[in-house]
């Protein structure tokens, strides 16, 4: 993953934020929308592209674009920094390959411990029964 190349491929669009904000909200475009098309990216290898498309399937558009928006801050520059940081965090998490699980066998002592506790429970339940008075 070539971060510099990917950063060059990002497309930004500024728009007006929604919600409360007084007079400022109607005239300043502080909301930032980031668009990244995975298929045409030169900063990712083919394997990385496949992995990202598999992991982020629910977040991608039909044409394979990842769109993120940020309107947390009042400044357009701050929102741009926040959305870029979030974008690279999402990419990093999508590219993490989980460790393969190695199946292990239970130890001899854990088997004995389990059987001992089963025996104690069985004895406890047997003691609750009414005694057999020689019928």
Does residue 23 belong to any structural domain of this protein?
yes
Does residue 12 belong to any structural domain of this protein?
yes
Domains of the chain: total: 1
Does residue 135 belong to any structural domain of this protein?
no
Of 34, 41, 129, 54, nearest in space to 94 by CA: 54
Of 67, 75, 4, nearest in space to 34 by CA: 67
Query: Domain holding 82: CATH number?
Result: 3.30.160.20
**21 pLDDT tier (thresholds 50, 70, 90):** low
Q: Mind listing the pLDDT tens digit for each residue in 44-72?
A: 888 988 998 888 888 888 888 889 988 88
Does residue 17 belong to any structural domain of this protein?
yes
- Which is more confident, 97 or 26? 97
| Statement: residue 43 has pLDDT above 70 | yes
Query: What domain range is 66 assigned to?
Result: 3-95
Of 102, 72, 86, nearest in space to 34 by CA: 86
Q: Are 114 and 66 in contact (CB under 8 A)?
A: no
Of 134, 24, 32, 20, nearest in space to 86 by CA: 32
Does residue 103 belong to any structural domain of this protein?
no
């Amino acid at each position: 993953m070539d971060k510099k190349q990917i950063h060059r491929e990002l497309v930004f669009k500024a728009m007006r934020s929604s919600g409360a904000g007084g007079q400022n909200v109607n005239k300043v475009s502080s909301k930032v929308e980031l668009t990244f098309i995975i298929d045409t990216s030169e900063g990712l290898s083919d394997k990385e592209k496949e992995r990202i498309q598999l992991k982020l399937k629910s977040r991608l558009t039909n044409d394979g674009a990842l769109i993120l928006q940020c309107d947390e801050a009042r400044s357009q520059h701050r929102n741009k920094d926040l959305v870029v940081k979030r974008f690279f965090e999402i990419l990093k998490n999508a590219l993490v390959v989980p460790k393969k699980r190695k199946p292990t066998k239970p130890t001899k002592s854990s088997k004995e411990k389990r059987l001992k506790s089963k025996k104690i429970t069985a004895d406890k339940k047997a003691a609750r029964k009414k005694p057999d008075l020689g019928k």
